Structure 1
């Protein structure tokens, strides 16, 4: 291996299978690194050349990914993005503070400071709120923590639930019976379980009712003991539904509530139970609230840019609306002021 300031040559000594794992399908992993940094990666076989203003950072990410492949781990585009994020933010998880979760995915651990804070809160408190934009790993890490708790015999059951309201759809207009109506809303939870438990084991545990995935309405009237309970998409609950859910918690149960306060699909004028609960429960002992930002987004790099663009547009629209209200108020005051003077 040789290098100068902005030009690196890296020879990856590995099998053909390990090389394929490192670069990804159609070199997708390399393209992800290029997209994140001002660098160009070219390769011939197992010889890589990294050039550009941010070549050192791209090289560091490539080396980190190569080390994981050499260790026998499988890496995905998601893993590459988390390595990129770690390099961009300069954050890492120290070995003595690492959270190695016991799931089917070897080496699963938090990749940002807020993710680490989130998992620490889940381990140390009974009720945790994870609030923030899409792509920050709120739901996936919560499910991973649930799988870890079950595998370590810390809980007897895993219960995953969501409110069945989303993107303007209402159940009455959807085809099928109740189970068929709500199943699409719960699909992201199934996907996470399949990834972390494996398809066959997940199906087995569902059949044994060790894993339960159900709409929020099914929680009413129950007391949940010795369980790991996750309420996803909590921004679409009402304050009454949120209170109902939180009062289901029994002995030996942990609850994680996740949601994005900017993606509320409730009818106009209906207050979000997530925002309400975060305000009401902020200072209650035994409850943790972890707030994620766009810096924690670990999906495709465009997701972070999209989230930031929408936030900017929403703030601009809110500012314009405030200016219109202020102008209307001044106009009204001026009108009444003139009438009083005329009188």
Structure 2
């Protein structure tokens, strides 16, 4: 019979106790049910009793809850279940063959102005590892894999550590079934909804007053891709989001903006191309044009890296099966 071990985790004084354990210890009860452990809460100290592997997994999820609480995030039941699901998949799954071999890489943390963020999946860890070794990283994968959020976190960490002097976040303004012309306001007001996900990520990582100051001083710039033409970006961390909606020439223009002591992450999902012809995507063509160039890395995230609601992965799988059936009919 496997020995029962005891592990201890302390909730920092600055972190809200309820944010971690949940109302009436509801988060702890979820962990007990899913990991077959017993968790005893005494003040800010949590004791986890169970078999070695189960106790370690429960501790890992608790550390995620504490890290989120430091960012003033309150976990819902679905968030806790998602964290459990991810933890189990990381322990049981072997690294994907098309990802960099980072299985032996220790779990690192990303230091932002509002606390620490951890990569939560193999694909996210592969993004971090690739950026450590390369100046340009393409991170491609389905919705919900945290590509944009992690890219922004890495950019903020580089700014915080004075490794770069500014952050530039860009998105192509492609109409995804909606017409900009019929939206109210001037061009900036029309384009802001396309850039909102980037603002949302930044608000999790910088105090509001500091973010406002950085935006006013253009230490952080959030802009449509077209506004980058003609610029050279030195000492900058540059992110291109939704890159599947760039054309061949737009992708070339973006990549050639990179200056001295700069890094870039390009994120996108080739299943969500909104261009009239999918083969025109600058993200798709980049695989063929840039493959094999030293200093450029491609990281593929998969459905296993989805970190949103547990149903998101099932939804992605269902759409992929549907697309495969449609493609086979067309053939």
Structure 1 CA distance for aligned equivalents of residues 22 and 127 of structure 2: 30
Question: TM-score normalised to the size of structure 2?
Answer: 0.79
Structure 2 CA distance for aligned equivalents of residues 72 and 313 of structure 1: 36
Bigger shift: residues 226-235 or 64-73: 64-73
1:29–1:231 distance in 2 versus 1, CA, 3 Å: farther
Query: Partner residue of 2:309?
Result: 300
How far off is 1:173 after superposition?
A: 2.8
Q: Secondary structure at the match of 2:204?
A: helix
Structure 1 CA distance for aligned equivalents of residues 41 and 106 of structure 2: 37
Query: Partner residue of 2:160?
Result: 151
Query: Partner residue of 1:339?
Result: none
* Alignment partner of 1:180 is 2:180: no
Contact 1:130 1:258 in 2 (8 A): yes
Q: What is the CA deviation profile of residues 62-105 of structure 1, one whole-angstrom value per residue up to 9, with x for unaligned ones?
A: 44344566899646535763453122231799897332212134
1:26–1:261 distance in 2 versus 1, CA, 3 Å: farther
Query: Partner residue of 2:231?
Result: 222
Contact 1:101 1:148 in 2 (8 A): yes
From 309, 313, 320, the counterpart of 2:318: 309
Query: Partner residue of 2:20?
Result: 22
* Structure 2 spans left out of the alignment, 5+ residues: 96-101
Query: Partner residue of 1:64?
Result: 60
Q: What is the CA deviation profile of residues 312-342 of structure 1, one whole-angstrom value per residue up to 9, with x for unaligned ones?
A: 11112111221xxxxxxxxxxxxxxxxxxxx
* Alignment partner of 1:319 is 2:315: no
1:303–1:284 distance in 2 versus 1, CA, 3 Å: same
From 110, 132, 149, the counterpart of 1:140: 149
* Structure 1 spans left out of the alignment, 5+ residues: 323-343
Bigger shift: residues 164-173 or 17-26: 17-26
Q: What is the CA deviation profile of residues 215-239 of structure 1, one whole-angstrom value per residue up to 9, with x for unaligned ones?
A: 0010111111111000000011111
1:68–1:254 distance in 2 versus 1, CA, 3 Å: closer
Q: What is the CA deviation profile of residues 285-335 of structure 1, one whole-angstrom value per residue up to 9, with x for unaligned ones?
A: 11100000000111111111111111111112111221xxxxxxxxxxxxx
1:309–1:201 distance in 2 versus 1, CA, 3 Å: same
Please show how residues 237-316 of structure 1 align to structure 2 within 5 Å.
Answer: 237-268=246-277, 271-316=280-325
Structure 1 CA distance for aligned equivalents of residues 165 and 38 of structure 2: 50
Structure 2 CA distance for aligned equivalents of residues 166 and 128 of structure 1: 26
1:164–1:84 distance in 2 versus 1, CA, 3 Å: same
Contact 2:113 2:207 in 1 (8 A): yes
Q: Secondary structure at the match of 2:299?
A: strand
Please show how residues 16-55 of structure 1 align to structure 2 within 5 Å.
Answer: 19-24=17-22, 29=27
1:106–1:283 distance in 2 versus 1, CA, 3 Å: same
How far off is 1:153 after superposition?
A: 0.8
Between the two proteins, the alignment pairs up a number of residues equal to 312
How far off is 1:125 after superposition?
A: 1.0
Cα RMSD of the aligned pairs, angstroms, is: 3.9
Contact 2:173 2:191 in 1 (8 A): yes
Query: Partner residue of 1:98?
Result: 107
1:68–1:95 distance in 2 versus 1, CA, 3 Å: farther
1:131–1:69 distance in 2 versus 1, CA, 3 Å: closer
Query: Partner residue of 1:87?
Result: 88
